[in-house]
Amino acid sequence: MRDDTPGLFDLPTSGRFEPARLTQARVRVGMSKTELASEVGVSAAAVGQYEAGVNSPRQDVIARLAKVLSVRPDFFAVGRPLARLDTVHAHFRGLRSARVSDRQKALATATLVWELTFALERYVKLPDVDLPTVLPSSSPAEAAGLLRQHWHLPDGPVKHLVATTEAHGIVVALRPLAEIDAVDAFSVVIVDRPIIVTTPRRSENVFRHRFSIAHELGHLLLHADTTEYSASAEKDADDFAAAFLTPAASMDAALPQRLDLAALDRLGRTWGVSPHSLILRMVERGRTTESSQRRAFQRLRTVGDPSADPTSAYPGEVPTLLKKAAELSGQCGAGVPALAEALKVSPRAVRDLLGEVDQRPVLRLV
């Protein structure tokens, strides 16, 4: 079995260097061309030429690039499926505060998640993508109702939203803040496979997590033909999430007649949404006023626990599709080492993409 240390036998053959792979690996770790050049011992101009395809690095430089970027040297070889960053577009949350480099870093993560999905599909049949076609004239509420109908969901709460989403062919990945901190959550479609990526900032509270997933589903349905950021598109996705998780007709029957935080807390736990979301629904349904809403929000800030209800307490809200696929792949003789070989990364990197927590004790010398 190959270990995690790149060897010279891994180097791509002369003339077979893929410039886009260097961009992908560099951007994913958040390094600038200048920073990478300094670590590798070449000029920033040289790194730019490598990524532009003007020149290819020597084999000794490839080995240093691989070491700095934590990939195998043959990661840079041509011949594997590749989603180029400049052709992949996404719907980002928190876009206005995110730099271009932040968005590119998030996309680099998404492309590697897609490559893992593609590798798994060589051994395991993943669920087909099952999303309805939404007419351009459809409102967010109409699209939400259509998705509920298409997925044969009952009128009540959407149980196990992430599990339901994955069962319909949409990959959900929870990535560390260090990778996509600035964008918080986003959705992307790569070669017809929708991928939703979110962070612990969203998943630490199951209600916020569920709303984010529903928000991204809204983007996938309502904004499939555009990735331009706009406040109206974000509002549409929020309206979709609210209508999908708490349909108006059901809320008319379930919401209290007056603003009662204790009653909303109980109702929220039944429907898997936050009291904040239900207060907004009360305003929309004419059950309370905006001034009462503001006072309720102020009270929630003083009594609420933002870290309550962690996602781990809700098994159906933890992504499992890729992990289960990897387990089945392993039963077919294609375990983590084979997946690492396909992606040209270390087995440790594959386990990380699968969301497996490293349980090994940490050795500290004192």
Please indicate, yes or no, if residue 155 is contained in any of the structural domains. yes
Same domain, 69 and 105: no
User: Same domain, yes or no, for 137 and 195?
Assistant: yes
Instruction: Specify whether 138 is located in the same domain as 106.
Output: yes
Whether residues 98 and 205 fall in one domain: yes
DSSP, collapsed to helix, strand or coil, labels residue 8 as helix
95 against 62, higher pLDDT:
62
Q: Which among 332, 322, 331 is positioned nearest to 352, based on CA atoms?
A: 322
Which of the listed residues 76, 111, 131 is the one where a domain comes to its end?
76
Residue 81: inside a domain, yes or no? Answer: no
Share of the chain above pLDDT 70, in %: 86
Report the distance separating Cα 87 and Cα 75, nearest Å. 20
**SS3 labels along 206-267:** HHHHHHHHHHHHHHHHHCCCCCCCCHHHHHHHHHHHHHHHCCHHHHHHHCCCCCCHHHHHHH
Final residue before a domain boundary, out of 17, 45, 76: 76
Q: What pLDDT band is residue 1 in, cutting at 50, 70 and 90?
A: very low
The set of long-range contacts for 258-264, using a CB threshold of 8 Å and a minimum separation of 24, is 258/287, 258/288, 259/287, 259/288, 259/292, 259/293, 259/296, 261/296, 261/299, 261/300, 261/303
Helix (H, G, I), strand (E, B) or coil at 313: helix
Per-residue tokens: 219: 């983007």
Whether residue 304 has pLDDT greater than 60: yes
Mean pLDDT of 339-361: 86
The pLDDT of 331-343, averaged and rounded, is: 94
Residues 67 and 114 in one domain: no
Residues 71 and 220 in one domain: no
Range of the domain at 269: 94-355
86 part of a folded domain: no
Residue 355 structure tokens: 């969301």
- The mean per-residue pLDDT over the stretch 71-85 comes to 89
In a domain, 365, yes or no: no
pLDDT in the model for residue 345: 92
pLDDT tens for 87-106 read 787 887 655 556 778 888 88
Of 220-234, 258-272, 296-310, 346-360, highest mean pLDDT:
258-272
CA distances for 19 relative to 55, 75, 89, 322, angstroms = 9, 11, 19, 28
User: At residue 178, does pLDDT exceed 60?
Assistant: yes
Q: If DSSP codes are grouped into helix, strand and coil, which group holds residue 193?
A: strand
Indicate the pTM of the whole model.
Answer: 0.88
Domain count, the chain: 2
DSSP H or E segment with residue 326: helix 321-331
Give the pLDDT confidence score for residue 248 in this predicted structure: 94
Q: What is the mean pLDDT of the chain?
A: 87
Q: What is the pLDDT of residues 214-269, one digit of tens each?
A: 999 999 999 987 766 678 889 999 999 999 999 999 999 999 999 999 999 999 99
What is the DSSP-derived secondary structure letter of residue 192?
Answer: T
